[in-house]
Amino acid sequence: MYKYVPETVPLTPHRALSTPVEHRSVKAFADCELNVFETHTVADQVLLRFHEPVVASMLRGKKVMHLQGKEAFEFYPGESLILPSEAPMVIDFPEAAEGNPTQCIALTISNEIIENTVNHFNEALPKCEHNDVWSIDLNQYHLENSAEVAQTLNRLIELSREENQSRDTFARFALHELLLRLMQTQARHLLIDQYSLRMNNHRMAYVIHYIKEHLTEAISMDKLSDIACMSRPHFFRSFKRELGLSPLEFILRERIKLACRLLMHSSYTVLDVALRCGFNNFNHFVVIFRRFTQLTPALYRKEKLRVS
């Protein structure tokens, strides 16, 4: 599946670098601070920490992250981290070079802003289950960006280049949206990963279970709203609010994930894959597949087999 990467920030001319390892430029807003880090040389065990909670997202290159109490993992464009204040990060840069630097953004946000935003969403946009609330889950610290998260980060990057009196106001709106998008992303991952454990006490988890069990069949919104014991409009709003995408969009994403697996690990023709993934119109399948992966199904298979 395609990863959504925020815009690459224009690189700092090498002669202007204060250091080739973790060169930093900063743009302060009223409610947050946007840091852009560039690394122009291979380096190991670089320590970095922030005094406030941080959302970090890779723009280009690769890092290897060592977080306290966690196994080391590779950090790529299209992925983000959510870390608490003072959390130490020890970072390796195995591929950074003067002509191909690693680049990452780090958005620091005060605990007060996060708490106020979360409280606002719990009052204004309550979840469908009474015992479920919005929160930033620091146990889900490594996320794959949604298109919406990447777009919101892009808005903050663009605002950091502007000089006008409304900049901080626009940034505040974007920051609130980013926090909600991140919470929706976390909720989506949690429900998808644990739907079988939660489907007896969470309506959306049971809906996800039904969708996965009937992915190759026609799935109606009326059936899904009946399963959730909601009216169709209420179900549609609740699903989109909690998971950050519509039921139809979720079904399409799941079908394309299945198609990717079949293209990589089976000998089915592309037409057979389309039919096995619930697409009765082959041209529609190709259009949707390309929207999610930026490749045609045939080219996706060719590219994945080439690198495997």
Confidence class for position 11, pLDDT limits 50, 70, 90: confident
Fold classification of 14-188 (topology level): Jelly Rolls (2.60.120)
* Angle, helix 167-198 to helix 147-160, in steps of 10 degrees: 160
Q: What is the pLDDT of residues 130-149, one digit of tens each?
A: 889 999 998 889 999 999 99
Give every strand in the sheet of 79-83, ordered side by side: 23-28, 32-39, 102-109, 54-60, 79-83, 142-144
Q: How many CB atoms lie within 10 A of CB 122?
A: 14
- Whether 55 shows a pLDDT value over 70: the answer reads yes
Q: Which residues contact 90 (CB under 8 A, 6 or more apart)?
A: 45, 46, 47, 48, 65, 66, 67
CA distance 197 to 204: 12
Q: Is residue 106 within 8 Å of residue 65, measured between CB atoms?
A: no
Q: What is the pLDDT of residues 163-205, one digit of tens each?
A: 888 999 999 999 999 999 999 999 998 888 889 988 888 999 9
Q: How many CA atoms lie within 13 A of 214 on its CB side?
A: 12
Displacement of CA 145 from its chain's centroid (Å): 2
- Over pLDDT 70: what percentage of the chain? 99
What is the reported pLDDT for 21? 85
For the record, the structure tokens of 171 come out as 């940034």
pTM metric for this prediction: 0.88
> Do the domains 14-188 and 199-308 sit in the same CATH topology, yes or no?
no
CA distance 114 to 233: 30
**CATH architecture designation of domain 199-308:** Orthogonal Bundle (1.10)
Domain ranges of the chain: 14-188, 199-308
CA distance 98 to 12: 11
Q: How many CA atoms lie within 13 A of 36 on its CB side?
A: 23
Q: What is the mean pLDDT of residues 208-233?
A: 95
Q: What is the mean pLDDT of residues 77-95?
A: 96
